[in-house]
Amino acid sequence: MKNLKMKAARAGKDLSQEQLAKMCNVSRQTISAIEKGDYNPTVNLCIAICKALDKTLDELFWED
C-alpha cells in the first residue's frame, strides 16, 4: 500500500527523497520504496522518519 501521507508530509516540508534519506541515514531508494509501498520499514526507521517530518507514527503509518 502506497504511503501517500508520508509523501505529502515530505513535500509539505519541501524535502526531496534524498534529503529525507540523509536525515534518516538510509538511501533515497529506501524512502522511495516506502512511499511506493514496496518496503515495510522497521519501527526505528518509522520513528526516524516521523521525527524528521515532525509527525506522529499514527499520522504517517496508521492505516485509516
Residue 37, domain extent? 4-59
Dihedral sign of CA atoms 39, 42, 45, 49 in order: positive
Band of residue 64 on the pLDDT scale cut at 50, 70, 90? confident
- DSSP H helices, 25-62, are 28-36, 43-53, 57-61
Residue 22 belongs to a domain with what CATH number?
Answer: 1.10.260.40
- Supply the angle between the helices 4-12 and 43-53 in degrees, to the nearest 10: 30
Whole-prediction pTM: 0.93
pLDDT one-digit tens code per residue, 12-56: 999 999 999 999 999 999 999 999 999 999 999 999 999 999 999
Q: Evaluate whether residue 43 is within a structural domain.
A: yes
Q: Evaluate whether residue 33 is within a structural domain.
A: yes
Number of domains in the chain: 1
In whole angstroms, give the CA distance from residue 20 to residue 62: 20
Q: C-alpha cell of 2?
A: 502506497
